[in-house]
Structure 1
Amino acid sequence: MLVLLPPSETKAPGGEAPPLDLAALSFPDLTPVRTRLVTALTELAEDVPASLAALGLSERQAGEVERNARLLTAPTAPALARYTGVLYDALDVATLSTAALARAKHRLAVASALFGLVRGADLIPAYRLSAGSALPGIGPLRSLWRPALEPIVSTVDELVIDLRSGAYAGLARVPSAVLVRVVSVDGAGRRKAVSHHNKAHKGRLARALATSAREPATVSGVLRVATAAGLRLDHVDANTLELVVPA
């Protein structure tokens, strides 16, 4: 099973591993695009105002540009430790046992505007680049990533559970993936998409799927894991699950 997670804009600083080695990342067929983007970001970082404009940042966020300037020299950390924010707080990998963490690093993969897709154990630096960004000389990232990334994710020979947000799902379509939507149900039985706490609920589901002793290989297995974790997951159709949370 491969669970696709969205990244976060915020990243943990520092790291204890050596600088970025693009050739060592999972999905090595993506190396040419990764190399092009890393080069573009580091060169763009030499012009701070241009970087802020391209990345949609304010002057108070100039430190993010400095991170991009050091992509090839900064220390790295596993992807699951690098990303922060609501979803990753709920995932809470810091509290996992050694065995559970090993399972999580293998089963979870993070969609990334810079790296395309990385598994949880892949060593990456802190960076700033969003799916909706358009870089000088490159243009919209969706146009760059789709031709490279879709052939990779569409041929994954295992169950794919898609928890990505819309912008990152747009970087690569995965027709065979099982999409998870977070919904609430009102008193009349009407279902409504949840936006405010969406990430936290997805983080709890990701934790359950990543750490279960038996790895789910089917949708039925995913439903069993969710139920055991106290989560209500409904099978809507062949490619859609709904995580039902309190209204």
Structure 2
Amino acid sequence: MLVLLPPSETKHPGGGGAPLDLSALGTPELNPLREQLVAAVVGLAADVRAARAALGLSPAQDGEIARNAALRCSPTMPAIERYTGVLYDALDVRSLTRAQRRRAAGRLAVGSALFGLLRADDAVPAYRLSAGSSLPGLPALRSLWKPVLTDVLAGVDDLVVDLRSGAYAELAPVPGAVTVQVLSERPDGTRAVVSHFNKAHKGRLARLLATTTAEPDSVVRLRALLRRAGLHVEHDGGTELTLVVPAAAVTR
């Protein structure tokens, strides 16, 4: 099973690993495009005003541009520890046992605008580039990534659970992947799509899938696994699951 996570705009700073080495990352067939994008991001950082415009940053965020300027020489840390935010707080990989962490390393991956696909333990520096960013002189990131990344993801033999947000899923859709919609249910039975706290519920779901000893190989078996874990999951056919949470649990 491969669980695809969205990245986050914010990153943990620092790290104890050696500087970025693209040859050490998984899926080496992505390296030519990775190198092109790294060069573009580093070069863009030399023009602070242009970088602000391209990356959608304010002057108060110039530190993000400085990170990009140092992208090739900054310390690294495992990708799954680099990203921050609601989803990653709920995933909480640093609290996993050694056995759980080994299992998670084999199952979790992050969709990245800069690196395309990162396995959990791929060592990366802090950087700033979003799926919607426009790098001067280059086509849209979706146009760049889709031809190469789609083939990589299509070649995954395991069940793919795609928890990426819309913009990152569009970089390279995965035919046949299981997707998850999160709905809140009020006491009167009415339902609504969960927006912000959708990330927290998907983070908890990712933690469960990363650490379970089960190996679901279909959407039906995945649904059964989640139901055994006490989750209210509905499946109306196809490859989408609906996770229904009480409205009172939406903010937790």
Structure 2: how far apart are the matches of 1:191 and 1:154? 34
Q: Corresponding residue for 2:4?
A: 4
Q: Is the 8 A contact 2:105 2:121 kept in 1?
A: yes
Question: SS of 1:134's equivalent?
Answer: coil
Q: Is the 8 A contact 2:219 2:239 kept in 1?
A: no
Q: Is the 8 A contact 2:223 2:241 kept in 1?
A: no
Return the TM-score normalized by structure 2.
Answer: 0.94
- Segment of structure 1 superposing worse, 8-17 or 224-233: 224-233
Q: Corresponding residue for 1:79?
A: 79
Q: Is the 8 A contact 1:108 1:120 kept in 2?
A: yes
Deviation at 1:182, TM superposition (A): 0.8
Question: SS of 1:236's equivalent?
Answer: coil
Q: Is the 8 A contact 1:183 1:194 kept in 2?
A: yes
Please, which runs of 5 or more residues in structure 1 have no aligned partner?
none
Please, which runs of 5 or more residues in structure 2 have no aligned partner?
248-252
Deviation by residue 1:153-175 (Cα, 9 ceiling, x = unmatched): 11211100010101101101112
Q: Corresponding residue for 1:143?
A: 143
1:102-117 matches, within 5 Å, as: 102-117=102-117
Q: Is the 8 A contact 1:209 1:225 kept in 2?
A: no
C-alpha RMSD of the superposition: 1.3
Structure 1: how far apart are the matches of 2:192 and 2:152? 33
Deviation at 1:236, TM superposition (A): 2.6
Structure 1: how far apart are the matches of 2:84 and 2:234? 28
1:11-90 matches, within 5 Å, as: 11-90=11-90
- The residue type equivalent to 1:200 in the other structure is A
Q: Corresponding residue for 1:234?
A: 234
Deviation by residue 1:77-100 (Cα, 9 ceiling, x = unmatched): 001100010000000011100010
Aligned length: 247
Deviation at 1:23, TM superposition (A): 1.3
Deviation at 1:139, TM superposition (A): 3.0
- The residue type equivalent to 2:195 in the other structure is S
Deviation by residue 1:93-143 (Cα, 9 ceiling, x = unmatched): 111000101111110110100001111011111000000011001131111
Return the TM-score normalized by structure 1.
Answer: 0.96
1:167-178 matches, within 5 Å, as: 167-178=167-178
Percent identity (aligned) = 60
Structure 2: how far apart are the matches of 1:158 and 1:215? 9
Deviation at 1:188, TM superposition (A): 5.3
